[in-house]
């Protein structure tokens, strides 16, 4: 009798219940009115009297074990069925929102890509700069207005003067100090100016500055490089013009205008009906700047240029207020999902 009990107990333990059909088959086979456990109880009368007590206890334990397994799996299957019944499989799926790159990041990446095609590497540097890299090495005179508190965010004045960089030209100085020509690099990054915040200006913005130094570099090389850039960014019809200007670190210097892409150079309120929009400044690197960084100006020459990413983005995407770039308005940022 013990052997029969042990055999049925092993069958109960090995039985797998995965659905209601398995559960019902288990009930019929083991705990039903004609199940194995019931039959064992019917056979108990043939057991000798002295063994009935022990065998009876084994049979009761077997019955309880079979019923517990049945009730446990029944409850589990009912819970699963209840949860499934609450699901509406005809309901449309959730429209999960995806993020978007910031318009400044899109344009910055595009500018880097354009110049990387003609061999420019990317250089980066600290946003907190000393006087040498931010001013002196770039030929700024001691009395230059940029050194005044109303134009620059100074962190520490005096002998160890430190300030938030006013341009990424400071990165170019570091490159020239630690590299041997030929040098061909662009320096993207955030810069800071002590200016009133308005639709056309901000106290922080982003620049991409370029530098090319080699033997026999000419102004014609600069012009063709910038024309290539304008056509790549604004389209094949884009044209540029150069106007004389002044920067401490370049001589000669020029402001560069691009034909207005908003009105196709016909004239509009954005370009003030001139057909042109200023996008960057440029010039031949001043020999004093080369010498300050340890480069022989009698052997090497070069050109530099710098542009505001906000300004380029404004032209490319027709943004009329620079403050939109930093206000994190989701309605504004959602418009650039297609640019990912």
Contact 256, 278 (CB under 8 A): yes
Our CA angle for 9, 12, 17, nearest 5°, is 170
Judged against a pLDDT cut of 80, whether residue 334 lies above it is answered with yes
Main-chain dihedrals φ then ψ at residue 19, nearest 5 degrees:
-155, 180
Residue carrying the six token digits 């995407």: 317
pLDDT at 270: 67
List Cα–Cα distances, 86 to 56, 81, 191, in angstroms: 46, 9, 56
User: Which tens digit of pLDDT belongs to each residue from 141-151?
Assistant: 777 766 665 67
Peptide bond into 249 cis (omega under 30): no
pLDDT at 72: 86
Output the six-digit token pair for 184: 């061909």
pLDDT band for 42, please (50, 70, 90 cuts): confident
| 145-150-156-160 Cα dihedral, nearest 10 degrees | 0
Q: What is the mean pLDDT of residues 222-239?
A: 93
User: Which tens digit of pLDDT belongs to each residue from 295-326?
Assistant: 999 999 999 999 999 888 888 887 878 888 88
pLDDT at 203: 87
Residue 66 C-alpha from the chain's centroid = 58
What superfamily does domain 103-339 belong to in CATH?
Answer: Bira Bifunctional Protein; Domain 2 (3.30.930.10)
For residues 219 and 308, give the distance between their C-alpha atoms in angstroms, rounded to a whole number.
Answer: 21
Of 19-28, 82-91, 110-119, 164-173, give the lowest mean pLDDT range.
Answer: 82-91
Domain assignments of the chain as residue spans, ordered by start: 2-85, 103-339
pLDDT at 104: 92
For residues 255 and 247, give the distance between their C-alpha atoms in angstroms, rounded to a whole number.
Answer: 10
Contacts of 210 (CB under 8 A, 6+ apart): 115, 120, 185, 186, 187, 225, 304, 305, 306
pLDDT band for 250, please (50, 70, 90 cuts): very high
Beta strands per DSSP E along 165-203: 183-192
pTM for the structure as a whole: 0.67
pLDDT at 323: 87
Compare 269 and 221 and report the one with higher pLDDT.
Answer: 221
Q: Is 92 exposed, middle or buried (0-12, 13-18, 19+ CB in 10 A)?
A: exposed
For residues 91 and 54, give the distance between their C-alpha atoms in angstroms, rounded to a whole number.
Answer: 60
Judged against a pLDDT cut of 90, whether residue 31 lies above it is answered with no
> How many helices (H) does the chain have, and how many strands (E)?
11, 10
- Tell me the CB-side half-sphere exposure of residue 235, using CA atoms within 13 A: 10
Q: What is the mean pLDDT of residues 198-226?
A: 92
Nearest-Å Rg of the Cα atoms of the chain is: 40
Contacts of 134 (CB under 8 A, 6+ apart): 163, 165, 166, 167, 170
Q: Is 14 exposed, middle or buried (0-12, 13-18, 19+ CB in 10 A)?
A: exposed
Q: What is the mean pLDDT of the chain?
A: 86
Q: Could you give the percent of the chain with pLDDT greater than 70?
A: 94
Contact 322, 310 (CB under 8 A): yes
For residues 150 and 133, give the distance between their C-alpha atoms in angstroms, rounded to a whole number.
Answer: 20
pLDDT band for 83, please (50, 70, 90 cuts): low
Alpha helices in 44-189 (DSSP H): 49-85, 103-116, 131-134, 169-178
């Amino acid at each position: 009798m013990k052997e029969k009990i042990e055999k049925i107990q092993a069958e109960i333990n090995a039985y797998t219940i995965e659905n209601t059909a398995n559960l019902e088959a288990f009930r019929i086979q083991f705990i039903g009115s004609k199940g194995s456990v019931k039959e064992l109880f019917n056979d108990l009368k043939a057991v000798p009297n002295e063994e009935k007590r022990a065998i009876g206890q084994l049979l009761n334990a077997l019955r309880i074990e079979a019923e517990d397994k049945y009730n446990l799996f029944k409850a589990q299957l009912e819970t699963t069925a209840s949860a499934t019944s609450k699901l509406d499989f005809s309901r449309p799926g959730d429209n999960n929102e995806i993020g978007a790159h910031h318009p400044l990041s899109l344009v910055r990446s595009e500018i880097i890509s354009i110049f990387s095609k003609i061999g420019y590497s990317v250089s980066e540097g600290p946003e907190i700069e000393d006087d040498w890299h931010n001013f002196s090495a770039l030929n700024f005179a001691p009395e230059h207005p940029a050194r005044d508190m109303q134009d620059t965010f100074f962190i520490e004045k005096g002998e160890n003067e430190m300030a938030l960089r006013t341009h990424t030209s400071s990165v170019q100085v570091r490159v020239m100090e630690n590299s041997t020509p030929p040098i061909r690099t662009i320096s993207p990054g955030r810069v800071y100016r002590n200016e009133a915040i308005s639709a056309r200006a901000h106290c922080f913005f982003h620049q991409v500055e370029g530098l090319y130094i080699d033997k026999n570099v000419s102004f014609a090389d600069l012009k063709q490089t910038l024309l290539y850039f304008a056509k790549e960014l604004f389209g094949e019809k884009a044209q540029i013009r150069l106007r004389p200007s002044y920067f401490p670190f370049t001589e000669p210097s020029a402001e560069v205008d691009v034909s207005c892409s908003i009105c196709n150079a016909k004239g509009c309120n954005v370009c003030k009906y001139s057909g042109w929009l200023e996008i960057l400044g440029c010039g031949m690197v001043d020999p004093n700047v080369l010498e300050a960084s340890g480069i022989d100006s009698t052997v090497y020459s070069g050109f530099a240029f710098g542009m505001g990413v906000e300004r380029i983005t404004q032209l490319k995407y027709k943004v009329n207020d620079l403050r939109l770039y930093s206000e994190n308005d989701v309605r504004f940022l959602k418009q650039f999902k297609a640019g990912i």
